[in-house]
Structure 1
Amino acid sequence: MTITPHLSGIQSFVRAAELGSFSAAARHLGISAAAVSKNIARLEAKLGIRLMNRSTRSLNLTAEGAAFFDQVRGALQALDGAVDDLATRRTGPSGRVRMSAGGSMVRHFLVPLLPAFRRLYPGIALEIDSDDRFVDIVSGGYDCVLRGGVIKDNNLAARQVCRFFSVLVASPDYLARKGVPTVPRELVAHDLLAARFLSSGEWIWLFDTDGDAQPHAYPAAFTFSDPDALLAGALAGLGIAQLGTQHVWPHLQAGGLKIVLFDALRSPDMSLSLQYPHRALIAPRVRHTIDFFVDQLRADARLTVSRADLAPFVASAGD
């Protein structure tokens, strides 16, 4: 059996398997869900094998379908890449690129870069979802995601933008009213601002106790699920917040925030990375998009802050 007459069936099968439904595959391919179903049924009839079991709520690959998926997915990506590469040579990269990033990163880091991106790549239609939840790249239909924190998904390719860590900050007004904590146990007498991440729970405060990093749970006066709100609360004098250096650096320089317990806090090892599904066969439109944002973000001073840079902004007991 030659592949060409059955390409539409293979495309429909691969997209349905990746995205988890006929309707999602149909949206991706620009056809109807009925057409996706029909294409897959024809492919199964020709192969004489059921590739997936479907119900009104789910799709599940059969053992044969899973093996077939692993074989044809790479071939289909190679075909897509060849078409994209040829188009790129003729007219420059073009097509839609879907990206996901946290709302704060989109507002403060990505949006300011978009005019330059548009001038450089007018043929790329960039779709950015502002989502602080953990998203599945494949089932969500994303080409890349910008993630910050402890990156655990080793099944994805990644381009690291920077390493970063968190610090405890408060406004000078708050510290003048409540005092500057000198050891972690004094935090119980302070108003704390907590961050509740929608995908990973509440932020864990880590401190070095007798040489070992230990988690401590402190009751919070206010809890936010948005880093911008947490930052706004600290600037407004509501209490002490734990935030990444990329969020607080401009406000430390402007005098709106001071760092407390600088030597006591031991932040987890965190990174900001652009992740994408595959190391090879990446479409030119996606590759150029990733290269652009990695290069631009690496040059952002807010993302290159070191512990030495922060030392002048540490609050003292006399503040």
Structure 2
Amino acid sequence: MQPLSHLESFVKSAESGSFSAAARHMGLTPAAVSKNVARLEDGLGVRLFQRSTRRLALTEGGQRLLAQISEPLGTLADAVAHAAEADGQPAGTLKVSMGLAFGRAYLVPLLDEFLQRYPAIQPDWRFENRQVDLIGEGFDAGIGGGLNLNPDMVARTLGQIHLVVVAAPALLRGRRAPRHPADLARWDGIARRTIRTGRVQVTTLRNKAGDVAPAELRPRIVFDDPEAMCQAAMMGLGMAVLPMPFAQPWLARGDLVRVLPGWWADSGPTSLYYPSKKLLPARTRVFVDFIVEQFAQRGFAQRVRGD
């Protein structure tokens, strides 16, 4: 029978597409992972990868083996993790991906209470504005919006995110505030370039009467980060269309004010997502329950609506 380390090296390399990525996940060197896979190939008498300088590609035999062992190996790893938890308490490294500004504003403040409840868990959080491949990159969970999830994922909605038009009070002082989205064309704007497409975003606003209209500000600045847009808006450099999670703290303090308060746009949900497993590690399960509980208690879903 092949050693589990050889099988795990093969599966992680296949899922991530490289020995280097698999090595980072397993805490080994790329050379060690490559050697494990080579030994597995020698033992089976089957070539599992077509190797190139850019990426690994599974052979037909590698595809068959991956389909046969990937799920059983994951179940075995989860069972070992359960057995290793100290005194029945959730333990181990909790690897979570989240957005930069969102994580700092909404997740980091919860850390103290989480660690008091679960002192044997070590958070390993990655702050990055992208949707990660949880399984391929070895994450326990991720938090974000605009998700495109596969059937192996579970998503728990934390709140439906709305976009609103905001400005610094000084920008509006002595001037007639816009009364309809069409009025925005006369104002300088801080536009947002979407990371996914590279295009400048044009938001369609709506009101409770069901009317819709584009928010077409005069582009003065273009950013790809909503936190930077908040800062520029507070400096009075222009109006901005911002997600409520970023705008809400500054609206509450009065550093920003709503423009066209009866209008908003729906940006979809922000969700906590994690792999769908029969044996979900206890550290992941308690993290999910804790975050859902805390966001509900703090009224996050209500605070990020613009209607």
Confirm or deny a common fold (TM above 0.5).
yes
Query: Counterpart of 2:159?
Result: 162
- Looking at structure 1, the residues matched to 128 and 236 of structure 2 have their Cα atoms a distance apart, in angstroms, of 27
Tell me the amino acid that sits aligned with residue 257 of structure 2. Answer: K
CA distance in structure 2 between the aligned counterparts of 1:99 and 1:62, rounded to whole angstroms: 32
1:281 is matched with which residue: 279, 282, 306?
279
> Within 5 A, what are the aligned runs for 1:62-211?
62-88=59-85, 90-148=87-145, 150-155=146-151, 156-201=153-198, 202-208=200-206
Letter in 1 for 2:279: L
Q: How does 1:24-35 map to 2 (within 5 A)?
A: 24-35=21-32
| Deviation string, structure 1 residues 64-107 (Cα, Å, up to 9, x no partner) | 31232122111111111111112236252222222111111121
Residue by residue over 1:239-296, the C-alpha shift from the partner in whole angstroms, topping out at 9 and shown as x without a partner, is: 211112222233333333322223344x134111112233433222222222222222
1:291 counterpart SS class: helix
Count of matched residue pairs: 304
Which of 11, 15, 18 is the equivalent residue of 2:12?
Answer: 15
Does the aligned pair in 1 maintain the 2:245–2:304 contact within 8 Å?
A: no
Distance 1:230 1:277, change over 3 A: same
The answer on whether the counterparts of 2:85 and 2:92 sit within 8 Å (CA) in structure 1 is no
Q: Report whether the alignment pairs 1:233 with 2:229.
A: no
Give the secondary structure class of the aligned counterpart of 2:166.
Answer: strand
Preserved CA contact (<8 Å) 1:84 1:285: no
Aligned to 1:314: none
User: Residues 138, 200 of structure 1: CA spacing in aligned structure 2 closer, same or farther, 3 A cutoff?
Assistant: farther
**Structure 1 counterpart of 2:296:** 298
The structure-2 alpha-carbon separation of the partners of 1:26 and 1:175, relative to structure 1 and needing over 3 Å to count, comes to same
8 Å CA contact retained: 1:51, 1:61: yes
3-state SS in 2 of match to 1:276:
strand
Q: CA deviation at 1:146?
A: 0.7
| Helix, strand or coil at the partner of 2:266 | coil
Percent of paired sites with the same residue: 37
Q: CA RMSD in A?
A: 2.6
**Distance change (3 Å), C-alpha of 1:187 and 1:214:** closer
Structure 1 CA distance for aligned equivalents of residues 147 and 117 of structure 2: 30
Unaligned stretches of 5+ in structure 2?
none
> Match of 1:179, SS?
coil
The amino acid of 1:163's aligned partner reads Q
Please state how far the C-alpha of 1:144 moved relative to its aligned partner.
1.6
Question: What's the offset of the Cα at 1:228?
Answer: 1.9
Distance 1:183 1:255, change over 3 A: same
Does the 8 A contact of 2:102 with 2:246 survive in 1?
no
Asked whether the 8 Å contact 2:144–2:272 carries over to 1, the reply is yes
What is the one-letter code of the residue matched to 2:70? Answer: R
Task: Give SS of 1:282's match.
Answer: coil
Distance 1:217 1:279, change over 3 A: farther
2:216 equivalent to 1:220: no
- Mapped contact 1:246–1:303 kept (Cα < 8 A): no
- SS at the partner of 1:40? helix
Equivalent residue letter for 1:43: L
Stretches of structure 1 that go unaligned for 5 or more consecutive residues are 312-319
Q: Which whole-Å CA distance do the structure 1 matches of 2:114 and 2:154 have between them?
A: 22
- For the residue of structure 2 that corresponds to 1:223, the secondary structure is strand
TM-score (norm 2): 0.88
Contact 1:84 1:93 in 2 (8 A): no
Provide the TM-score with structure 1 as the length reference. Answer: 0.85
Query: For 1:275, what is the secondary structure of its paired residue?
Result: strand
